[in-house]
Structures are given as structure tokens and as C-alpha cells.
Amino acid sequence: MKETMKKNLLRAGVVAAAAAMLLGNIAPAQAAYQSNGSFGAVYLYDGTYTLGNSYTWTGEVVGSASATASDSVLACPASSTGVSTFLSTVGNVATPGSWNAFAPIAFSAGTKNVLQPNLSPSAQINGNALGVKTSGGTFALGVACTSNNGVTVLASFYRTITVTASTGAWVADATAVDSVGNSLPTPTITLTTPTTNAAAAGRTAGQVFVGDVLTVNKNQPAVFPADYTTTYQWKRNGNAISGQTGATYTVVDADGYAKISADVIYTAAGVSVTKSSTQTGMILGGSAVLGGTVSLSAGVSAIQNGFLELSIPTNAAASFGSASIVNNYSVTTGTLGNVQVNDTRWITTDGWDLQADVATFTSGGNTIAKSNLGFAPKVVTGSTTATGVTAAAATTAGSATYPTAFASAAKNADLGLTGVSVLNADLTLRAPRTTPAGTYASTVTLTLATK
């Protein structure tokens, strides 16, 4: 009796509320945004409740949110007023008027859940399903939760399928389960209102100046799960900026030579996932900030109060030894080479901070992420005449985060007769186990800023 009633439901293209009484294992769907744009995973079962991916055009097939049970419901947003199964091109999932074919169905009684929707292409009785069978191609097949009399799609659960022309036989792409939010869109930052101050005159593409207004773009598709809420957090060098939780941010003087990024925090069913933008380049146009790289030196011209200067040897290059295998990792150690901070400011004695950033290691088309470089700063004793200078904590190869602090001099410290601080760093590159052999190149960028 149960099998007969189920087949009748499949042929009718409707999931009736009465079907709920026939099944004892109805579990709620788990929201997990999919890489193909579906709002959750959809698993396909044939007329014998067997999980599968390949079917004939008229073969019996129902959808479920579970890979182990055919009666796990697909949960529509609470604001849904209607629901349909549909067959469409992937680009028209959110446009009911452009679906190739569809069939209205019903929610389970007293809920916004959909139980065992009939996903046979031949059951999509409205529209032109036979045109899909004739032409074949790639389509989306699934369930759409709607409002406004079926005009607005609030959520859609579907599989991407490939239909063979003429026979209508079809195969569904694999279900990509994403319970940790990896498929949520990655935000980007755009410069929405450039400043017109003198410092920003003649800017080049990609530069960001103090006074610019930045906007974080969520990069969501036009239709996105209605039960996701989003909040924002702007960051300076990876650290949260207090009170900056809107979609826009105005760059301030304190950001000078820092890097700005933004987090978008998605929350659904009490679970939050954070997606982070990449950082901007170092902010330009701020006051009392100096910068330099390993291959360059930069400084402030001497003034009556003295000067603050970062000195790096011309054509500076770190020194590495030969790679060796340690615990089945290729490990290479070396030293950065001495760099020098000169601070002869004897009136203000503001102190300073030195920061290091590392570029991705490259060898031809192969790369090693900078997080695999351990960076252990040190103050070179015997060459350093300033006091009050401390080296920062080391980063660990394999889990390092950059930019990172290199060294600092405290405010009102005794800088000695010349205020010379000589600094170096031990380097450890631990390559991931799958890294091809080769010689990998990178650069370390040092940034010096007054406190």
C-alpha cells in the first residue's frame, strides 16, 4: 500500500500533506549553501528508495536533504507562501517566468517543509519539458520556495543535471555538502568615494589614501537564503576596528601604512560563518609613517629634533641553507640579514614599531603560502646602542600570520648617543608535503612607524 501511494504521488507531481502520515523518520533539512548556488544539499532516490544520480526521462525520483534517508525534508524559509518543483537553465533558477517546466506542489501540513518532492523531469507538467528532452543540455532540477503568488523565489534547492538529447536520460552532478560555509561568497572591497586631498593627487589603480570611503561587497547571487543574516567588521592589519561594523568605512589617519580588510559574518539557525576579504595595499597619505622593503631604504630628512630612519643594505637578500627532511616535511632555515633603525629624536622620544610582511613564495607556476614561513625576530647585541628595544614574538612555520610585528622601541626610552638598533630574524620555511621540488623566491617588506 505504501509503495502504491508513493507512485501515485510521483505521477501526480504533488507532495500531499497526507504523505507525512506514511513515514516515521522526517528529519529537518540542514541549511548549507552549495557551490552550484543551491541553498542546501539535495539527494535523489528512485522508486525503491535507493540513492542514485542517473535516471531515465520518466524514471521515478524524489528529493531528500539526507544521503541516508529518503524522507528528510527540504525546509523553506518561514516567509514562503508557495512551493514548486522546476526544471530550468542554471541562470534562470531565480526567475520562475523563464523556467523550462515546473509543477506546483504543497508543504507538509502545518510546516514550510517539503517531503519527497517528485523530481522526475516528466512530472514537470507546466511549460515545455519535452523541449528539454529533445534538445538536451545542462539544467537545474529541484524545488523553489516562493512568495508573491510564485513570482519571487526566496530559496531554491536543486541539483545540476545533464540531459541527453532525444532520449532524455539524465545524470546529476555530485552533491557538494558544505556544512562549514566554504561555498558562501567571498567579499571584496571597492573604493566608492575617493578623497580629493593633495596627497591622493595622481593616484594609481589600487592605491588607497586616508580620507577614502571603502565599501564591502558581499558578492551574493541575486537570490540568497532568506534565513541568513549578515553583519560586518572592518579590520586594520587583521585586528578589529572598534565600532566599525557597517558596510562602508572611511579611512582615517591612524590607518596610515596599515592594511584594511572586512569580514562578512553570515548567521543561520544560530550558527555563524565568517568570510573575509583580502587586505588593501598599505594605506597612503597618513602622518608620521615611513616604509621600506628589503631591496630599498627610506628615511626622514634630519630635522632639529633628530630623525627616524630605516636602513636596509642595497640589494639585500636573505641567506638560506640547504633543505632537509624533518618529520616528512622539507625544511629550510636561514637568516634575514641585519637591518638598522636609527632614531636620534631627542626632544619627542616617541618610540617606534617595525612590522614585517611576506609575499607568496613562487617557483615557476608553483607557490608556497607565506603562512609556511616561520619568522623569529631578534635584537643584535653588541651592535645595538639604543635601549628599550624589544624583538617581537616569533611566528611558527605552517601557521604564521602576516603582517607581523618585528620589533619596537618604547616611548621615552633611552636611545643612547646615536639611537642605533640592529635587528635580524631567523627564518624557517616548512613546505607543505605536496610541494614540488624547486627554488622558491619571495620578498619581505618592512614598515617602520612612529608610535
d(CA 413, CA 416): 9
* CB-CB contact of 294 with 443 (8 Å): yes
C-alpha torsion sign, points 105, 109, 111, 116: negative
pLDDT tens-place string over residues 87-113? 999 889 999 999 999 999 999 999 999
Helices (H), ranges, 299-359: none
d(CA 112, CA 312): 66
Cα dihedral 359, 364, 369, 370 in deg (nearest 10): -30
pLDDT tens-place string over residues 359-418? 999 999 999 999 999 999 999 998 888 888 899 999 999 999 999 999 998 887 655 555
pLDDT tens-place string over residues 108-160? 999 999 999 999 999 999 999 999 999 999 999 999 999 999 999 988 999 99
Show the beta-strand stretches assigned E in 277-417.
289-293, 298-299, 308-311, 319-320, 324-326, 329-335, 339-343, 352-358, 361-363, 366-368, 373-379, 389-391, 404-409
d(CA 118, CA 105): 9
SS (H, E, C) 136-165: CEEEEEEEEEEECCCCEEEEEEEEEEEECC
Q: For residue 293, what pLDDT band results from cuts at 50, 70 and 90? A: low
> Model-level pTM?
0.47
pLDDT tens-place string over residues 211-248? 999 999 998 876 777 667 899 999 999 999 999 999 99
pLDDT at 25: 29
d(CA 83, CA 114): 8
What is the set of domains in the chain, with CATH numbers?
2-172 (no CATH), 188-276 (2.60.40), 289-450 (2.60.40)
* CA proximity to 185, closest of 223, 155, 227: 223
* CB-CB contact of 286 with 210 (8 Å): yes
Q: For residue 180, what pLDDT band results from cuts at 50, 70 and 90? A: low
Question: Beta 319-320 vs 329-335: how paired, if at all?
Answer: antiparallel
8: enclosing H helix or E strand: helix 2-12
* CB-CB contact of 109 with 87 (8 Å): no
Pull the grid cell for residue 269.
Answer: 539557525
Looking at every residue in the chain, the average pLDDT score rounds to: 86
* CA proximity to 172, closest of 43, 75, 37: 43
Residue 161, burial from CB neighbour count under 10 angstroms (0-12, 13-18, 19+): buried
pLDDT at 2: 35
DSSP string, 258-294: --EEEEEEEEETTEEEEEEPPPPSPBBS-SSEEEEET
Count CB-CB contacts under 10 A for residue 363.
Answer: 14
Q: Which residues make Cβ contacts (< 8 Å) with residue 10, sequence separation at least 6?
A: 47, 60, 61, 62, 118, 120, 123
